[in-house]
Amino acid sequence: MNDVLLMPLKLSELERLIENSVSKAINSNQFKEPHKEKGIYLTKQEAAKLLKVSPGSIDNYRRRGQIQSYQIGRNVLFKEEELLAVVEQ
């Protein structure tokens, strides 16, 4: 059980404590989403449509390391810009 401590604080002290706590939380990357980088992410089916190949071919390219994929939860996604770069090669 947490102990509760009540003590008188000046408003300025309370504001400083809150500001410090919020700054720590923001700086600790607690509120950042690591997978939300710039760019459009596509599913395997969308990637296959973009590259005009079958979803099975996307799996083969992925296994061979020809295209980069990103595991986000249960989803495997592909960056549109990376797929387009592969097509240009």
pTM to 2 decimals? 0.56
> How many whole angstroms separate alpha carbon 78 and alpha carbon 50?
11
List pLDDT tens digits, range 14-37. 899 888 887 777 666 555 554 455
φ/ψ bin of 54: left (φ > 0), alpha (ψ from -120 to 50), beta (otherwise)? beta
The whole-number pLDDT of residue 29 equals 56
What are the residue boundaries of the structural domains of the chain, listed by start? 41-88
List pLDDT tens digits, range 43-67. 999 999 999 999 999 999 999 999 9
